Chain A
Amino acid sequence: MSTKHLFLSTALLGAFAGSAYAQSNTTGAVQGAVTDSKTGEKLPGVTVIATSPSLAQAQTAITDENGLYKITDLPPGDYLITFYYADITLERGGVNVGVNRTTPVFQKLNQAQAGGEVVKITDTAPTIDPTSTTQGITIDKNYIKNIPVPGRTFESTLGAAAGSQGDGLGVSFSGSSSLENQYYVDGVNTTGLTYGTVGSPVINDFIEEIEVITGGYNAEFGRATGGVVNVVTKSGSNEFKGSVFAYFQPGVLTAAAETTPNNASSIDANGNLAYYADFGFELGGPIIKDKLWFFVGFAPQVSKVDITRTTKRQSDCRKLEASGELSTCNPALQGAGGNADGVPDVDPKTGFYITDTLDEEIRSRKARAFSLLSKINFAATPENQGQLALQLQPGQSESPGIYGPASSGFKASGLTSDISMKWTSKFNDNKTEVEAVVGWHRERITDDPYDPSLATKPLQVLYDGSLGVWGPGFMAETQKTIDGCRDLPPGMSDPYPLLTNNCPMDTVPYVIGGPGSISNDTQQRRAAKLSVTQRLKAGGSHEIKAGVDVEDNISDKTRLYSGGAFIQNYVGSDLIRVNRWVRLLGKKGSPADLNNTDPHFDNRCSTADTSGGGTGMGGNIEYVCDYTTGTLGDPGTRVTGNTFNWSIYLRDSWQIQPNLTLNAGVRYEEQRMRYADFLQDRVDPLTQERLGTNAMTMTGMLAPRVGLLYDWTKEGRSKIYAHWGRFYESIPMNINDRSFGGEVNFQQDFVPSQCGPADTRIGVNSRNGEGCVDNPSLVGADERLIGASGVLVAPGIKPQYMDEIIGGFEYEILDDLKIGVAYKNRRMGRVIEDVSTDNADTYIIANPGEWSSDEEEKLMDRIDRTDDPMEKTRLTRQLNLYKGIRIFDKPQRNYNSLEFTLTRRFSKKLYVQGSYTYSKTDGNYPGLISYDNGQVDPNISSQYDLIELLANRVGPLPQDRPHYIKLDGYYTFDLKKAGQITVGTRLRALSGVPVNALAGHYLYGSNESFLLPRGQIGRTDFEHSLDLRLIYARNLGKNMQLEFFVDLHNIYNRQGTAGVDDNFAPQYKLSAPNSTSGTEQNANPVSGGTYQDLIWVKTIDGRGNETATPIGKNPNFRNTTGRYAPLNANFGMRLNF
């Protein structure tokens, strides 16, 4: 079929000729060459026009003297490319353009073709971008629509990229932690400010396309050592388009989650989704055709998770038969023919205590949120266009306490706001483009107590006791549980009268009191970007882009515990530990103390003086301090922080030949982290260091990037490439709050009798820790300041970076089907972490393992020059501290991978996207998340704090999964008038994670000490799952389609192990039944040890002293603590128009 071609007016040509913008972070491009199909002659002057429903106005280019053209600034979508040459017209449809990608469209024209007819080319454009070394995946709205992704916001799709995996806080890429990613929505940085998590979770229905960059990114991108996620939301165009949608996941269609029982404790908790639902609409269209367009979307979401809380009792009614099997239960005393012997029954096969279920209770976590997106696009002229977007995400949730009274839970509310403005202008015959973006990202979070009457109560955690006491004591358990746990003499209602504690709580604590830490935080980022792109010809064609961006990040956070304290009550060990936030004034008797007029500083805080080399003989140092209250607004309860980032970059994409491209660029970044307002221009009471405005300034972040690509098919159907780049980390703002915000925690260990009369709710002779909180003049048996000596920043500290090498090829082996192989190496070059070289007295933010000799000389000069003996002493001490940094192991993380990818883009009703990644991630530095102990304190984690914590850290890192297979696809069956059925699948198969053996450290708490080298205990099982989506679609009219869909996730209900208990030795040894013998037990690592060695490890007591006592064991060690979600189904509908 042919149609008469349309006349192309000179005016129209003039308007669009030479359109040549660089693709920005929200658009892509089409490029190629036009040649004569018979002679191969390059054809200049061919008019190439791109049109698409995604594009408000057609974009045009004219081929140059080499027959080359490029059309940029194309929003993602499917395009029709039309070539006009003399009176020949060729149309090539189905050209897919992705964000930040260049789609090659090489076209041959037959000049002998009869004029005046339109020739439609059915051949599809290749999917390989021959100009980019970027690794990753583009997820378009069809993928989101047809693949059963495991969530409703964009994060749920990111796992499709080869080399990606979930890490609990997000999706990590290529061996990095997820907190090393950067997230952009419509070109604006929406990365969470405190930790670097996802800041604005956009609901999938509002998304046009997601670009997931897992490596090889060019100089436009920075501040990331993980991946870059670029979300482009839908925009309005000249056609009204939209949808109404609803999505529902009922709990009744979810298989029961397998339990992960806690051995030696009497409460198990198991979460099951009760329901999740969202519904809403999205609509885009013109306000003024060709001038002004709108898009708006709104979607409320509600969810409820039922936590089934099972209480259980140990049994004493079985004996081992001669057959080796356990007998049936006979609770009569042995003398009376029964099996009761006073020792709890244990299953010899599993080692678990055999328990009776007492009762089940459901406590529910509820959440609701709203997603609102509105956007205006406008075109003052075709060369000058703008966009204004607003996204709001308010939400509330409530979480009752689980291991304790429900009242110990909390309620939270939050509001995330994003406002962005973007403007693009073209000059110089469209060879020059300027783009400006201004954005504001704001996150607000507040916490409230679950039970308002407990707002002023401290949170108290009870360890190693009995539910038989705590249950009736706090009346937070059901009557069945209370009755079942009752320890009674023989002849009464206790079925196991010889057991002295029917319901132990050895391995799980019981939480009572108020909500604990209270948030009332606001964080915001004000950002601006300006870029200029110039295309020119010199030895080929160049696309040169230069840009600058600034980010002003502000945090305003609370620092307070409800009731002014957090209490750890070690009931089984006769110890009560009270933790408070404090403000320090100075040493007792210091000038700061003597001249003080602030009445708040009426408390004392003492800590061990470890300056004597950690011998414990140094005695204590006493400071004048203020116990911060639990009332928001009181002195010391608010901390403000500020980080200022800026960067410039320059890059050139030099197409030396149409099939040979050299990408080279360089990026320069700086980051300035400032002290909290109240600390600036003040002398630190601990370090005696005068604090200025900037706490730490990262300069010299020069990040070169270079890549080379060659397309041996010369048609954009192949590329062989290599890339090298350096990437710098952007330090999240948690460090402002913790290290540069004057955070000091005062920990007091009390003998329970100091805390007032016995509280029989906790134990016959036990005390309530509130008694010690209420008396601020009490002196603890042991006291310490944590984070006490202020924080020094090592002079000459250098920024954290990673180097990356990528090499590989892609080849389109069949139409629409490409394969790729890529080798990737990522290696941390330098890391920023806090270390202590004086036994936890002073913390230094430094590059572990290195301190420059230049800085050493400078400091020595300073020491020589000063005449003040006190200053000389202070500086000499600092010199010794800094020199100690060199002893620390250099953090290392090496990621090596081979990625095999296969992509069959959607055509002939079939889409397939698959990958197999073989990788190794090892070293001693997991990244910005300490997966091992759950700590999330980027750059100031505990993992490098003390030299003894470094041992055994080298090995397979928590994100090491050697084998990872991903296969996504969908197929559409056309039922003609009856509609369409689409079947989508998502397969994941992956290696397990390394298992460790951890113990406590006397200063740092649980799971800080790697008893054995990483991964020594083995690896969790290989896991796999398959998800399925069925969609039925029926056209209701020309532009209306109704869809129903059903998702089945984990269809064979394999609830594999997601995590195991790595804690070999709990920090408090279990007490013997009916005693309080559970003493604190810590242990240092067994360097290079094996599991057998752990039999002989000796305990370190609460003061850090080695004893002759062997370390105890966690009965729950290596047991499963988390499982993958069970089989679940959800369904929904969508009306597209």
Chain B
Amino acid sequence: MTIVAGCTDYDSATNLHPDGPPKVQQVRMKETYQIDGTADTSSRRVFGFGTHPNAIEVEQHPVTSATLVGNSFRIIMDELLVGNHLEEIACRSNVDGDAYSKVPVGATPDDIARCATAQDVLPSTCKGAMAVCMCENDAGCSVGTTMIEKGLPVGVDDKNQDGAADDTRLIAGAVSVKCGPIDVPIDLNMSYWNPSGNQQPPAMGGFEALGPAIVLVPQNGLPNNLDCQIAFAETVVDKQNIRVCAPASGDPEDDCTPGDTAQVKFKSEPMKFQSVSFAEGATGISRTDPVVFVANTNIDPMATSGVTITGPGTTPFTAFTATITMNKIITIAPTGAGFDPNTMYTVTLATSIKDTFGQPLPTAMVVHFTTGA
């Protein structure tokens, strides 16, 4: 006999939505925006996809100028995904070319603990279908001075011996960012899947702690001025084995087709330079001081070829060297006697300048200055 509590309603504000396909509920990202009433720009993290009831207007809109450097993406799901297809765990040595191993679906923390025991015990505890960190190298895997044969466990990396893996890593290609034709490299160690969280912002972290979430950290920033998408591998599924999708409206209440995440898109900001030596049209500029431009992203080392100076008038000025430091700073230093006195120069950063992804500067930058006496 079963007793059922009549009219029981256990809806919770913290519940997820496990029915149907797993949907992208929100994507948090950093955008660059122009501060109202000024020419200055700043950056902020916003909902580039989806929204939240607690968000104010400026915090939620399609992003057309995703910040190129220092950006990361928090992809918040409306239900739990199978973590085994998103992350792998660290082992004590290389098992298949590197020291990370995928975890069989269905494995529990107990299975991990069984493969995190002392080396001599491992063959007894770490076996069967749920075993992890099994040596797959034909030549075997070396753990310290011990050589482990192919097919035997090398052990989970568990230095503190608590039975849990010390480290995990996002599986390459599980979730990716594609900008135009470019697959944006992801920092797999800094990126992760965290099944914790729900739609209620916790005491600390605010929207950045909504979950469950995949956090993607580009390894070298984003290519500039491109339409981008976040893509999920076919293997990334929920517990009903359904692929991820994103409703066209951004409203998780709406339907979407499994595998269709085309709506999770944004545009990266265009590459730009800012003169930090002088303002446009400045006068009295030192004849020997370098002229410095800072880009909003990492620039191609060959970018110096795109720098030209003319003056006076259209006369080419070539007595300078252009160098790149810290990946994004172009320093133009006059050589010899420097610039002529009381002369107006024009510096042009041409569209041939590219970022490290090979994407060009969308608009040439032209600035003028006049030297002092």
Contacts and interface: CB of A to CB of B under 8 A. Distances in A.
Interface stretch (B32-40, B160-168, B289-297): B160-168
Interface stretch (B5-13, B20-28, B255-263): B5-13
Contacts of A1078: 160
A951 B14 contact: yes
A757 B84 CA distance: 47
A1104 B201 CA distance: 12
A950 B14 contact: yes
Contacts of B165: 1095, 1110
A1103 B204 contact: yes
Given A894-B8, A896-B5, A924-B12, A346 B117 contact: yes
Interface in A322-365: 324, 326, 339, 341, 343-346, 348, 351
A1109 B190 CA distance: 9
B163 A1115 contact: yes
Given A616-B205, A1072-B160, A1113-B109, A918 B3 contact: yes
B204 A951 contact: no
Interface string A896-909: 11100000000000
Interface in A170-228: none
Interface stretch (A150-158, A1079-1087, A1128-1136): A1079-1087
Given A1096-B83, A1097-B194, A320 B120 contact: yes
A348 B124 contact: yes
Given A1073-B161, A1110-B168, A615 B89 contact: no
Contacts of A938: none
B13 A887 contact: yes
Contacts of A1090: 239
Contacts of A1069: 160, 162
B362 interface: no
A1041 interface: no
Interface centre among B14, B89, B106, B108 (most CB of A within 10 A): B14
B120 A341 contact: yes
Interface stretch (B209-217, B273-281, B312-320, B343-351): B209-217
Nearest to A351: B113
The interface centre, meaning the residue of A923, A951, A1077 with most chain B CB atoms within 10 A of its CB, is A951
Contact of B195 (A345, A1073, A1096, A1109): A1096
A954 B202 contact: no
Residue among A318, A947, A1083 with the highest chain B CB neighbour number at 10 A: A947
Contacts of A1077: 159-160
Contact of A951 (B79, B125, B198): B198
A1005 to B, nearest CB: 14
Contacts, number: 238
Given A613-B206, A948-B202, A1098 B160 contact: no
Interface string B167-201: 11000000000000000000001111111111011
A1090 B105 CA distance: 12
B231 interface: no
B363 interface: no
Nearest to A896: B3
Interface in A491-515: 506
Contact of B205 (A341, A614, A896): A614
Contact of B13 (A889, A923, A1070, A1083): A889
A950 B13 contact: yes
The listed residue with most A CB atoms (<10 A of its CB), out of B1, B79, B108, B164, is B164
A822 to B, nearest CB: 13
Interface string B103-135: 101111100111001111111110000000000
B136 interface: no
Size range of the chain A interface in the assembly: 35 or more
A1095 B162 contact: no
A896 B83 CA distance: 37
A1115 B162 CA distance: 5
A1104 B164 contact: no
Contact of A346 (B18, B80, B86, B121): B121
B118 A344 contact: yes
B16 interface: yes
B55 to A, nearest CB: 10
B269 interface: no
Which among B8, B87, B109, B119 has the highest number of chain A CB atoms within 10 Å?
B109
A1108 B74 CA distance: 12
B107 A1092 contact: yes
Contact of B117 (A348, A1087, A1091): A348
B43 interface: no
B3 A1087 contact: no
Given A320-B121, A610-B203, A615-B205, A954 B162 contact: no
A802 to B, nearest CB: 14
B31 interface: no
A579 B112 CA distance: 37
A1092 B106 contact: yes
A614 B209 CA distance: 10
A343 B202 contact: no
A1029 B195 CA distance: 54
B107 A1095 contact: yes
Interface string A937-953: 00000000011101111
A724 to B, nearest CB: 14
Interface in A474-493: none
Contacts of A1098: 192, 194, 196
Contact of B112 (A344, A613, A1095): A1095
Nearest to A1065: B164
Interface string A594-630: 0000000000000000100111100000000000000
Nearest to B104: A1092
B249 interface: no
Contact of A1087 (B14, B103, B159, B161): B14
Contacts of B168: 1096, 1110
Contacts of A616: 204-205
A197 B89 CA distance: 49
Nearest to A898: B3
Contact of B211 (A614, A922, A1084): A1084
A757 to B, nearest CB: 28
Q: With a 10 A CB-CB cut-off, give which of A918, A1069, A1113 has the most chain B CB atoms.
A: A1113
B355 interface: no
A56 B160 CA distance: 74
A1114 interface: yes
Nearest to B159: A1072
A92 interface: no
A656 interface: no
A951 to B, nearest CB: 4
A385 B10 CA distance: 54
30 contacts: A264-B162, A324-B124, A348-B121, A351-B114, A614-B206, A614-B209, A615-B204, A616-B205, A840-B203, A889-B12, A919-B3, A922-B5, A948-B197, A953-B12, A1003-B204, A1072-B160, A1077-B159, A1084-B209, A1085-B196, A1085-B198, A1086-B212, A1087-B15, A1095-B108, A1095-B165, A1097-B196, A1104-B202, A1105-B205, A1109-B167, A1110-B166, A1112-B162
Interface of A: 264, 318-320, 324, 326, 339, 341, 343-346, 348, 351, 506, 610, 613-616, 825, 827, 836, 839-840, 887-889, 892, 894, 896-898, 918-920, 922-924, 946-948, 950-954, 1002-1003, 1011, 1064, 1069-1073, 1077-1078, 1083-1098, 1100, 1103-1106, 1108-1115
Given A889-B12, A1003-B204, A1087-B198, 9 more contacts: A348-B117, A610-B204, A615-B204, A947-B13, A947-B202, A1088-B16, A1093-B83, A1096-B194, A1112-B164
Interface of B: 1, 3-6, 8, 10-16, 18, 79-80, 83-84, 86-87, 89, 103, 105-109, 112-114, 117-125, 159-168, 189-198, 200-206, 208-209, 211-212, 215, 239
10 A-B pairs closest in CB distance: A1104-B204, A1096-B83, A951-B14, A948-B202, A1113-B164, A839-B203, A343-B118, A1072-B159, A1084-B196, A1098-B194
